[in-house]
Every structure is written in C-alpha cells, then in structure tokens.
Amino acid sequence: LAYQSGTTFAKLSLQPEFASVLGEHGTPELVAEHFDPMLRGEALVANQVTEPDAGSDAGGIKLGASHRGEEYLLDGVKTEAAFALDASAAIVYGRTSPDAGTRGISAFLVEQGREGIQRDLSPPDLGERWMRRGRVEYRGVRIPSDHRLGPEGSGFKLVRTELTRERGLLAAI
C-alpha cells in the first residue's frame, strides 16, 4: 500500500497505531466506546503531544492535568494536533506532577466535545491537508479519573513507545 500511495498508507495506518496507547492501556469501557469503533472506521481518535513552547519534545509538556478527587482538570494548549476539528476523542498528554520531570507526564482519553475545549484549524502545510492539523485549547476541562491511560506518571514512557512504532511505519513509506 505504501508503495502505491504514501498518503493513503499514512492515513490508514498511523491513526490506529498512535491510538494503540488507548487500546493497550484504556479501561475495557473506553476501548469499547472509542478504540473499537475507530478500528471499524466509525470514529477518529487523535493524538495530542505537541505544544507551543515544547514542539514535539514530549519531556517539555506543560499542559496541566490536576487530579481533583474523581476527576482531572486540564488546562493548556496543544498545537499541530492531527485531526483537530474531526476527531471525536484524543489521547492527550499532560503534566500531573510539575516537579517530576518526565515521570510527571500522564496520558488521558479526552472526548473532544467536552465543555472548555476550543478547536481551531491551522492553515494547510507540508502537503498533509488530509490530516487537518490545528490548535486545541483546554480551559478547565474536566475528565473522569478512569480516562487516564496507564498509571499516573507513565505518559512519557507511553508516548516514547508510540513514537518509536510510528517512526517504523513512516520508514516504510
């Protein structure tokens, strides 16, 4: 497939690959509600790592994810977010512990229709118009604690594993 159309290959393979964090670390309910429909082509799950001041340096993530009882409160901005306007949900990486370095980053599944989320499309660039990249702002967005993917503080390890897989797929193009 990649030999005939790198764009089609990327569109069909990268999205399920980077959503593997959800498939491998989400609750059975989250997997059934978001990952399984994505595999059937019925839903789109995005991946949001990049930030204005950190770029794609996952260790520099600043988006705040404060644990408050049975929920997390998200505040911050993601940029270059693939499928910014189209995804029904996104895997969002945020800082749960400001002083713990890379061990202070966690991953969350966030439905993109939640109150406090503002999504804007960026001008097309890099020939990746199909990806519809944009900016996603989180202002006091509340998500249930069970939407955390993996243990608290494991987000950097999860995204590092995901990016390693993604690079292998991109090399095939």
Residue 62 belongs to domain spanning: 6-172
The Cα 67–Cα 62 span in angstroms is 15
- pLDDT score, position 154: 95
Supply φ then ψ for residue 156, to 5 degrees: -65, -45
Residue 102 in domain: yes
Residue 57 in domain: yes
pTM of the model: 0.87
- pLDDT score, position 93: 96
Domain count for the chain, please give it: 1
- pLDDT score, position 88: 95
Residue 47 in domain: yes
Residue 150 in domain: yes
- pLDDT score, position 125: 67
Query: 118-127: b or e for each residue (b if 16 or more CB lie within 10 Å)?
Result: ebeeeeeeee
Residue 100 in domain: yes
- pLDDT score, position 40: 87
- pLDDT score, position 83: 87
Q: How many CB atoms lie within 10 A of CB 128?
A: 13
Residue 116 in domain: yes
Residue 138 in domain: yes
pLDDT tens sequence for the chain (173 residues): 556 666 666 655 556 566 889 999 999 999 999 999 988 889 999 999 989 988 778 888 999 999 999 999 999 999 988 888 999 999 999 999 999 989 999 999 999 999 999 999 988 766 666 678 899 999 999 999 999 999 999 999 998 777 766 666 666 66
- The CATH number of residue 118's host domain is 2.40.110.10
Residue 28 in domain: yes
Beta bridge partners of 143: 72
